[in-house]
Amino acid sequence: MITTRVIAVRIVIPPTNRTNKVKSSITRRKLISLTGKALAGFVSLATARKAKGAVRKFMVKTPAPKGYDPTKHKWLMAFDIEQCIGCGMCVQACELENKVPPGPTYFRTWIERYVIKRRKPGSSRARGETQVDSPSGGINGFPPTSVPREEILKSFYVPKLCNLCVDSPCVQACPVGATFDAPDGVVLVDPNYCIGCGFCIQACPYGCRFMHPETGTAEKCTLCYHRITRSLLPACVEVCPTEARIFGDLKNPVDDDPLMQFIEKNKVQTLKPHLGTSPRVLYAGMDKEVR
């Protein structure tokens, strides 16, 4: 039925009209040549890219670790809150090592000061309110707290960084696959493919990401990927004066592995476990106020 109708239409239109109509728009010849050009474009682009890659490989000497296999490692960091003295050397080292943009709000790692006040007389609670502050992330250390000493029930410092989640909400939120869980347990951002939409920054419940003001791409702690792949410690762990940051490789524990010993000796927790992100970064000596 439909076939006959279409044929009928063809017959109705006079041939002269038809050519006139087609002339003004795309002809078959034009379309074929366009397709050909597009194909040629793709092919030449790919060749150019391959050539660029080859030249780069030849010209640029990279001190890249040869033989580093990401599938044979699983990095993890843990924190001993009892050991953290809030000096902020880790935050400063991170900025120097990773060229974190200056400013009071850009951090890959930072320290929070928790001050838990004494309960008010007659209160039914065991402790008073909690005050948390982090002036410039603690990069210059901490000024004395504004809470008078006699009001403080207890106080401590909590270092923070990317929680290396197993079910990372940031990775799930990325619409272009620019952020990913590397096989060695690090969550990384591919700056060449990040479109700067900022969804991952909203998705991270730990506030571990920021938008780089110059590149316009998302940035976060990489666990100093350029260091750990060369068998060096992350900068923050390197400079920590009290061994409050413990770093190790779960797949290749060394003799008397500090990370393994830390997990064995302490009762460890993770941050915000109720969110289902399965964070891997461990904390010992954490109070219930820490979020």
Partner 1 sequence: MARKNGIPPQLVRLVLVTLAIIALYFTARYFMTPETFGQFGFYRGASLNEHATRPLSFAGKESCRNCHEEALQLVSQFEHKTLSCETCHGPAMSHVIDPETPLVKIEDGSCLRCHRSDPSRPSWLAQISLDDHYESDSCTDCHTPHQPNE
Rounded-to-integer distance, Cα 259 and Cα 249, Å = 8
Rounded-to-integer distance, Cα 111 and Cα 277, Å = 22
Q: Binding marks (x or -) toward partner 1, 39..58, rule CB under 8 A?
A: x--xx-xx------x-----
Q: Binding marks (x or -) toward partner 1, 128..147, rule CB under 8 A?
A: -------------xx-xx--
Rounded-to-integer distance, Cα 224 and Cα 109, Å = 11
Beta carbon nearer to partner 1, 31 or 273 = 31
User: Cβ distance 225 to 186 under 8 Å?
Assistant: yes
Should residue 36 be labelled a site residue for partner 1 when binding is judged by CB under 8 A?
no
Rounded-to-integer distance, Cα 120 and Cα 71, Å = 54
* Cα 282 to the center of its chain, rounded Å: 17
The sign of the CA dihedral 216, 218, 188, 170 is negative
Rounded-to-integer distance, Cα 50 and Cα 232, Å = 33
Q: What Å distances lie between residue 277 and 171, 181, 264, CA to CA?
A: 11, 13, 23
Binding partner 1 (rule: CB under 8 A), the pick from 74, 85, 101, 173 is 85
Beta carbon nearer to partner 1, 114 or 210 = 114
Using CB under 8 A as the binding rule, the residues of this chain from 179 to 238 that contact partner 1 are 179-183, 188, 190, 192-193, 222, 225-227, 229-230, 232-233, 235, 238
What's the min distance (Å) between Cβ of 95 and partner 1? 10
Should residue 96 be labelled a site residue for partner 1 when binding is judged by CB under 8 A?
yes
DSSP label at 138? G
Beta carbon nearer to partner 1, 240 or 281 = 240
Binding partner 1 (rule: CB under 8 A), the pick from 91, 139, 240, 259 is 240
Rounded-to-integer distance, Cα 70 and Cα 49, Å = 26
User: Cβ distance 165 to 94 under 8 Å?
Assistant: no
What's the min distance (Å) between Cβ of 284 and partner 1? 13
Beta carbon nearer to partner 1, 141 or 198 = 141
Should residue 156 be labelled a site residue for partner 1 when binding is judged by CB under 8 A?
yes
User: Cβ distance 206 to 190 under 8 Å?
Assistant: no
Binding partner 1 (rule: CB under 8 A), the pick from 130, 136, 155, 270 is 155
Beta carbon nearer to partner 1, 49 or 273 = 49
E strand spans, 50-89: 75-80
Question: Where do contacts with partner 1 occur on this chain (CB under 8 A)?
Answer: 3, 6, 35, 39, 42-43, 45-46, 53, 62-65, 68, 70-71, 82-89, 93, 96-97, 113-115, 141-142, 144-145, 149, 152, 155-157, 177-183, 188, 190, 192-193, 222, 225-227, 229-230, 232-233, 235, 238-243
